[in-house]
Structure 1
Amino acid sequence: MSTSVQPPSPVVSESEKVSESELRNRYSNDDEKIGVETTVSSADGDEALRLVGKERTAQFSEEYNRKLRRKLDFLIPPLCAAVYFTQFLDKTSLNYASIMGLPITGQNYNLVSMAFYLGFLFWEFPTVYLSQKTRVAKYLGVNIVIWGAVLMLHSVGTSFGAFFALRFLLGMCESCVAPILILIISMFYKKDEQATRISWFYVMNGLTQVFGGFVAYGISFNDGHLLAPYKIIYILLGGLAIIVGIAVLIWMPDSPVLARFLTEEERIAALERVRDDQGGTENKNLKMNQVKEALTDVRTWLIVLTTLMTSIPNGGISNFSNIIIKSFGYTSKQTLILSTPGGLVAASMTLFCGWYSDKKKERMIPIVIALIPTIVGSAVYLVGTFGSALSTVYAWNASNTSGHTKKSTVNALTLFSFSIGNIIGTEIFQPKDAPDYIPGKIAIMILLTVQLFICFLLRYIHIRMNKTKMRLLEEEKARRGWTDEDVQRERERHAFLDLTDKQNIYFMMNAASMTAQTSNVRVSSPSAHHPRLGLVNPPGQR
């Protein structure tokens, strides 16, 4: 075990030190020396280079890192959970309002449901790239405050046009949430910690179903003399969103480099914790070569397809589950209570999948586990376990995509397909199919069954990629005569160069069959950076 004897030494000279405000606002001076021996362009590299340089300059004990992780856990996941709790409540507020006096019914209700995802679809790519150019947490907080105000305005809308416009704006504001939360988790946590932390905020999807159901149940006893029940829902949830947005603006860190709640030593330790994962943290420059790689990577489109397969059922169930339950003859009050058990099931499955995914270093098998109960259950009852699949897709993006622009592009495409799927999903439960909605249930079974095969295909591709990288690493080590120390030093030097998962041979995918090999790569299978895949400075050739 390594020990932390004293604070790490600086990695730049006194004349090159910059203040925290300059770190936030300035990433220029391409000739500035980073690290001890190597000069790289600060525009090309990760922002972490400003603080820790290309070579590891400090070692921290396991106990120190555990304490640091606990400190991160007390702030980042709770804030992420609060954001997701608020987002899912606000997004599904229409579902509760639909049986509490909402003046929009029939096909107009379907169109208003769709409007949210149209706004989501329209603004997804612009919002992701705007967040890359700004301070991500502050950008997120501003969006939350705005959508809270938009949600409260639902209480004064009465016409189809007003509700359609407000839902469209709500979708625009909420489209930044998942990409930014995924990015924040990937910046602060190691690969084998990410799925669990993502599940800690994604579990809010299930818990809000329970919370929202009981709140709506209580409000349903209001006689509507002063204010219609659906208006109370919108005012309460909108106000809650504004409070959460203010909390994010005050406390959510933008990156490990700019985390004010950490000391300078803890910021360095936070970056060194994630160095070996090769995922990097943040880069403010939009790199078109990384956009191109994302668009030409077959795995990107398989993730898009698997997200689509999950989102179509989600679009139907999240907006129509209460209507479907009520159609069996239950009262509105009974319907609100009966909708809550599904939330507990979904929450439990999300936590299990997150734990299993990190424990086994798997990303696809948990999706399969989440899908099967819904495939079986959709024949008799709409089981909500399938929602956990999207949580694992988020973890896949965080753990298996490198290069800031590429990761942003893949996240944007994932949420783009999420919105398309939900738009389609709003039309799978048609009023003419009531009360059994058999065509919609059959559609869900078919879509999720197809998704099973996509998961196994992605897993196979990852296993093959890891085997190829391991073979190239061993060949390069033998060809150059590198020692374990040489290759480990080069591995560390490439961690924050903002290379993509294809450019960086050190970057390993999460695939169970490779766990034993990749987890011990530092000692038993040290890695070198193959020249065809972006080698910058081989040992002895600096």
Structure 2
Amino acid sequence: MSSETSAAKNLDEVEKSSQLETYDEKLGLDSIDTSDGDAALQLVGAQATVHFSEEYNRKLRRKLDFVIPTISAAVYFSQYLDKTSLNYARRVLFAAMLVDNYNLVSMAFYLGYLFWEFPTVYISQKLRLAKYLGGNIVVWGIILMLHASTDNFGAFFALRFLLGMCESCVAPCLILIISMFYKKDEQAKRISWFYIMNGLTQVFGGFVAYGISFYGGKALPPYKIIYILLGALAVVVGIVVLIWLPDSPVNASMLTREERIAALERVRNDQGGTENKKFKKDQVIEALTDVRTWLVVLSTILTSIPNGALSNFSNIIIKSFGYTSKQTLILGTPAGFIGSAMVLFCGWYSDKKGERMIPIVFALIPTIVGAAILIGLNGSSNKGVLLFATYIIGTFGSALSTIYAYNASNTSGHTKKVTINAMTMATFSIGNIIGTEIFQPKDAPAYIPGKTAIMVLLIVQLGVSFLLRYINIRLNRNRKIQLAEEKARRGWTDEDVQRERERHAFADLTDRQNLFFIYTC
């Protein structure tokens, strides 16, 4: 294992060498333009000359795991709790204006999310990623606390809109950070470690709202207490992000210089690249002309419509079985545990088997079954079976976390990455906007049209998942043939191929441009 001093010495030698030109001359290659390459090139160069032992890399990964997924989980916990606070506040709410306009204020969050998604990813590319994220979290914490300051519908709608704007950067930023620090076969599991907060917040939020519902004081209405507490928590999380979450391996203050080099060398062979501050129009065009982008968009909207419906109406469905508002808050919590377990399983399976689409199928089937039970047993007095259906209906949430992992593992070129992430999250907001409207008051209390829509949408998503998987398998097969032809044409040895793979890693090439990029199915 090399020491920090030896690593730095090797680094200086790389920066001063002309290896890149030597290889071009030897192999007759066209020069790769690294002037627009990733920031990583300034630290490790175009070729790997420093090698670290497996034990060293394991220790480094444990160090990263202690910080990055942990803080990411805190961010997601706060975000999802804040986003679904309306669902809990409604149960203990005294403000008639919110009850009467529930669908509209539910929609306001996603309107703000959609409005600001593309600007926020562009801004985040120009700034330090984690610092931008942390600033947004602090601001949305303040906005959430301001929810307690008004009983006016217009002001409440505006605050929900602003909340959506601030929270629109979360998933794109976290996906980028995970993709920069972790290898492809590590990404889905790490994403699942923070995405489980969606389920756990359902448990936590239910118990908090249940406890506050017993509050008999007159100083503040219960729903205002919820907003003040959750907003304060978000501010604390934002400060933690600003101080401790790293932006990229290149400038991670939590790592020594040697560890930063090792972190970059760990991910070099994956060809995913790191960060690049230059916005490249050609990569945007490639993202828009890649059929997989639009299938990801379709996948996202198919899963987001049910999310928008169930995240805001799940407690209402349970109450329709004949429970009180307070009982509903507690009875909804097991669904959070089941959803979290599915997220962890899908993340583990996805990395273990090198699959992205099959875990989505695993996540969708229980939801389809649950929706069918709720439709088929509508009006039944068997509350146990109906509750079971509402508990398994939430497993589909794992599909979106796996889509995040799919984007992280199957996209290269920094501008293309942020473009596809933005399109994914913009579609997420559109789906959720639609979702807030599929449970209409006229369909209460059974909401059969909404439940039927959820079942049909997710059945269609099964087909889309298999199509995406087939396309990536075909792309890998074609890429293998192309690489073999190039190897024969240029007379490359296996060592030459590895050398070229290293050269391409941080050149900020897209997955289409990079002959050495391998897709995860």
Instruction: Please tell me whether residue 357 in structure 1 is matched to residue 353 in structure 2.
Output: no
CA distance in 1, matches of 2:54, 2:98: 58
Mapping of residues 366-381 of structure 1, within 5 Å: 366-379=359-372, 380=374, 381=389
CA distance in 1, matches of 2:269, 2:17: 18
Structure 1 position 4, deviation (Å): 3.9
Q: Give structure 1 stretches of 5+ with no counterpart.
A: 18-32, 512-542
Structure 1 position 101, deviation (Å): 1.3
- TM-score, normalising length: structure 1: 0.89
Q: Which secondary structure does the structure 2 equivalent of 1:453 belong to?
A: helix
505, 520, 526: which one pairs with 2:515? Answer: 505
Instruction: Please tell me whether residue 92 in structure 1 is matched to residue 84 in structure 2.
Output: yes
CA contact (8 A) 1:195 1:354 kept: yes
Q: Which secondary structure does the structure 2 equivalent of 1:154 belong to?
A: helix
Aligned to 2:50: 58
Output the amino acid matched with 1:445: M
- TM-score, normalising length: structure 2: 0.92
Structure 1 position 159, deviation (Å): 1.2
Aligned to 1:466: 476
Output the amino acid matched with 1:194: Q
CA distance in 1, matches of 2:109, 2:511: 33
Aligned to 1:440: 450
Aligned to 2:6: 7
Mapping of residues 19-58 of structure 1, within 5 Å: 36-38=19-21, 43-58=35-50
CA distance in 2, matches of 1:42, 1:150: 43
CA distance in 2, matches of 1:164, 1:489: 56
Q: Deviations over 1:266-302 (max 9, x none)?
A: 0000000000000010000000000000000000000
Higher helix proportion (structure 1 or 2): 2
Aligned to 1:67: 59
Structure 1 position 315, deviation (Å): 0.3
Aligned to 1:170: 163
Mapping of residues 194-273 of structure 1, within 5 Å: 194-273=187-266
Q: Which secondary structure does the structure 2 equivalent of 1:461 belong to?
A: helix
Aligned to 1:496: 506
CA distance in 2, matches of 1:333, 1:391: 31
CA contact (8 A) 1:43 1:285 kept: no
Output the amino acid matched with 1:110: N
Structure 1 position 107, deviation (Å): 5.4
389, 400, 407: which one pairs with 2:399? Answer: 389
Instruction: Please tell me whether residue 275 in structure 1 is matched to residue 268 in structure 2.
Output: yes
Aligned to 2:133: 140
Q: Which secondary structure does the structure 1 equivalent of 2:91 belong to?
A: coil
CA distance in 1, matches of 2:18, 2:461: 46
Q: Which secondary structure does the structure 1 equivalent of 2:101 belong to?
A: helix
Mapping of residues 513-524 of structure 1, within 5 Å: none
Aligned to 1:21: none
CA contact (8 A) 1:11 1:36 kept: no
CA contact (8 A) 1:189 1:274 kept: yes
Q: Which secondary structure does the structure 1 equivalent of 2:214 belong to?
A: coil
Q: How many pairs align?
A: 493
CA contact (8 A) 2:188 2:405 kept: yes
Structure 1 position 327, deviation (Å): 2.6
Output the amino acid matched with 2:454: I
CA contact (8 A) 1:281 1:496 kept: yes
299, 303, 321: which one pairs with 2:292? Answer: 299
Output the amino acid matched with 1:314: N
CA distance in 2, matches of 1:129, 1:450: 32
Output the amino acid matched with 1:404: H
CA contact (8 A) 2:190 2:347 kept: yes
CA distance in 2, matches of 1:453, 1:73: 35
Structure 1 position 118, deviation (Å): 0.1
Q: Which secondary structure does the structure 2 equivalent of 1:362 belong to?
A: coil
Q: Which secondary structure does the structure 2 equivalent of 1:8 belong to?
A: helix
Structure 1 position 106, deviation (Å): 5.1
Aligned to 1:422: 432
Q: Give structure 2 stretches of 5+ with no counterpart.
A: 22-30, 375-388
CA distance in 1, matches of 2:282, 2:10: 29
CA distance in 1, matches of 2:437, 2:17: 55
CA distance in 2, matches of 1:34, 1:258: 23
Aligned to 1:151: 144
Q: Which secondary structure does the structure 2 equivalent of 1:414 belong to?
A: helix
